[in-house]
């Protein structure tokens, strides 16, 4: 159960929030996705944050499979059940290998190919260790370039932002997920 | 120093991308700070993040001292030196007690904090370190800040944790010692 009332229709907002609601919902083909069910309690904030996600999903030249792999790795790292639910199939559709999804789900690196390990390792270093090794950074820069790496970092940061809202307010996934608890060491 | 070229002047960008630089500078007193100096390698992404940040920083309904307390607590939890150096002075100038700043910096909090400070710092710490917030902390925070205020508090923590990703990944150093 979400810890505050979810906002899923524009009539729950004062009239000055309607345009923000409509704008956000149009980006998601008419749906109110989880983070916005709570973020709409601050409509202008929701509207602005949505533009970041729209850029990353619709305009960034980063390959979709890389983006979606990073998103499920963030969801795993932050134990964000909603985000995992929302992106597991997205990762599959974007072409992320089943073996890679399983490895991320279980917090393991075995089974990842070199590029997958690079992206997942970056997420782990960034979110868990708060530092990124020289080796990881330079491999990423060589692979994705300055703009690509900026957008990969922005993707990790943005889904971390979403996870803060989802985790703080305990927005549940819309359908059951399999994301086992894992023990972590920094 | 950082791991890539910092875009600190509008001439670092081709003319068609300079409006993003100018918009960010214009929203922040003419200054383009560290996170945006790296994010501008993707100018449209930088512009949209800065626009969101303008709300968090300048338009949020949270009291300024609560906001800055949450920011330095986030910087501490994320070990983000740049963010700490940039916001410690703002925490002071918005009225966060020096004792609270020291307790967060030294990791001795919640010892030495008032109940409200401990609430904000505890909420931030739990969210970033445990990925969840206890019932007791959540209920007290909702009571203190209200629904919109608490959404904006969580968003403030999330926003500065997003910036921390860029600052840490590209190893952007503080402009003064942290």
SS3 of A1-33: the string is: CCCCCCCCCHHHCCHHHHHHHHHHHHHCCCCCC
pLDDT tens readout for residues B21-79: 999 999 999 999 999 999 999 999 999 999 999 999 999 999 999 999 999 999 999 99
Taking the model in full, what pTM does it have? 0.98
| B148/A42 touch (CB, cutoff 8 Å), yes or no | yes
Check whether B1 has a pLDDT greater than 90: no
Min Cα–Cα distance to chain B from A110, Å: 24
| B127/A169 touch (CB, cutoff 8 Å), yes or no | no
CA dist A173 and B26 (Å) reads 40
Interchain CB contacts (distance < 8 Å): A and B = 146
| A154/B163 touch (CB, cutoff 8 Å), yes or no | no
* Chain B residue nearest residue A6, CA to CA: B147
| A55/B44 touch (CB, cutoff 8 Å), yes or no | yes
Q: 3-state DSSP: chain A helix, strand, coil percent, rounded to 5?
A: 65, 0, 35
Residues listed for chain B: 178
Check whether A184 has a pLDDT greater than 90: no
CA distances, B163 to each of A50, A174, B84, B156 (Å): 16, 29, 12, 11
Check whether A100 has a pLDDT greater than 80: yes
Q: Which residues of A touch B169 (CB under 8 A)?
A: 122, 126, 132, 137, 149, 153
Check whether B178 has a pLDDT greater than 70: no
CA distances, B165 to each of B52, B55, B77, B115 (Å): 16, 19, 12, 30
Q: How crowded is the C-beta side of B170, counted as CA atoms within 13 Å? A: 32
Determine contact, residues A70/A117, Cβ cutoff 8 Å.
Answer: no
Determine contact, residues A141/B4, Cβ cutoff 8 Å.
Answer: yes
| B162/A160 touch (CB, cutoff 8 Å), yes or no | yes
* Chain B residue nearest residue A167, CA to CA: B132
Interface test with B, best of A44, A154, A159 (most B CBs within 10 A): A154
* Chain B residue nearest residue A186, CA to CA: B129
Min Cα–Cα distance to chain B from A46, Å: 9
B152 touches chain A (CB under 8 A): yes
Q: Which residues of A touch B67 (CB under 8 A)?
A: none
Residues 6+ away with beta carbon under 8 Å from B31: B25
Q: What is the mean pLDDT of residues B8-17?
A: 96
Q: What is the mean pLDDT of residues A164-178?
A: 97
| A45/B52 touch (CB, cutoff 8 Å), yes or no | yes
| A167/B131 touch (CB, cutoff 8 Å), yes or no | yes
Q: In which band, very low, low, confident or very high, does the pLDDT at B176 lie, cut at 50, 70 and 90?
A: confident
Identify the pLDDT of residue A186: 52
Min Cα–Cα distance to chain B from A89, Å: 23
Terminal CA-to-CA distance of chain B, rounded, Å? Answer: 15
Percent of chain B with pLDDT over 70: 99
| A39/B41 touch (CB, cutoff 8 Å), yes or no | no
CA dist A42 and A20 (Å) reads 10
What average pLDDT does chain A have? 97
| A45/B151 touch (CB, cutoff 8 Å), yes or no | yes
CA dist B140 and B149 (Å) reads 12
Q: Quick one: residue A111, left, alpha or beta (phi over 0 = left, psi -120 to 50 = alpha)?
A: left
Taking alpha carbons only, the member of B169, B168, B161, B170 closest to residue B81 is B168
Min Cα–Cα distance to chain A from B95, Å: 25
């Amino acid at each position: 159960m979400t810890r505050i009332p979810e906002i899923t229709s524009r009539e729950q907002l004062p009239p000055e929030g309607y345009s923000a609601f409509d704008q956000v919902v149009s980006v998601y083909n008419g749906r109110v996705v989880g983070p916005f069910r709570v973020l709409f309690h601050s409509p202008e904030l929701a509207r602005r944050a949505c533009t970041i996600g729209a850029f990353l999903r619709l305009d960034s030249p980063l390959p979709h499979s890389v983006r979606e792999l990073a998103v499920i790795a963030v969801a795993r790292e932050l134990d964000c059940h909603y985000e995992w639910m929302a992106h597991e199939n997205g990762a599959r559709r974007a072409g992320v290998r089943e073996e890679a999804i399983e490895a991320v789900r279980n917090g393991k690196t075995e089974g990842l190919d070199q590029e997958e390990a690079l992206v997942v390792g970056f997420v782990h270093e960034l979110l868990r260790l708060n530092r990124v090794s020289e080796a990881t950074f330079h491999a990423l820069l060589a692979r994705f370039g300055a703009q690509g790496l900026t957008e990969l970092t922005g993707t990790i940061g943005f889904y971390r932002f979403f996870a803060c809202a989802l985790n703080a307010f305990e927005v549940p996934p819309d359908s059951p997920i399999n994301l086992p608890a894992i023990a972590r060491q920094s | 120093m950082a791991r890539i070229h910092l875009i600190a002047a509008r001439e670092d960008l081709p003319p068609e991308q300079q409006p993003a630089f100018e918009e960010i500078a214009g929203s922040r007193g003419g200054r383009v700070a560290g996170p945006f100096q790296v994010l501008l390698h993707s100018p449209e992404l930088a512009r949209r993040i800065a626009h969101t940040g303008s709300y968090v920083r300048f338009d949020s309904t949270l009291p300024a001292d609560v906001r800055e307390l949450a920011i330095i607590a986030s910087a501490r939890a994320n070990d983000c030196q740049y963010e700490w150096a940039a916001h410690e002075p703002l925490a002071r100038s918005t009225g966060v007690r020096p004792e609270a700043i020291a307790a967060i910096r030294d990791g001795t909090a919640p010892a030495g904090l008032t109940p409200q400070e401990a609430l904000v710092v505890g909420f931030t710490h739990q969210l970033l370190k445990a990925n969840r917030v206890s019932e007791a902390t959540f209920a007290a925070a909702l009571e203190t800040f209200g629904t919109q205020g608490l959404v904006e508090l969580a968003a403030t923590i999330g926003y500065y944790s997003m910036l921390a990703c860029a600052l840490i990944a590209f190893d952007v150093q503080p402009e003064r010692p942290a």
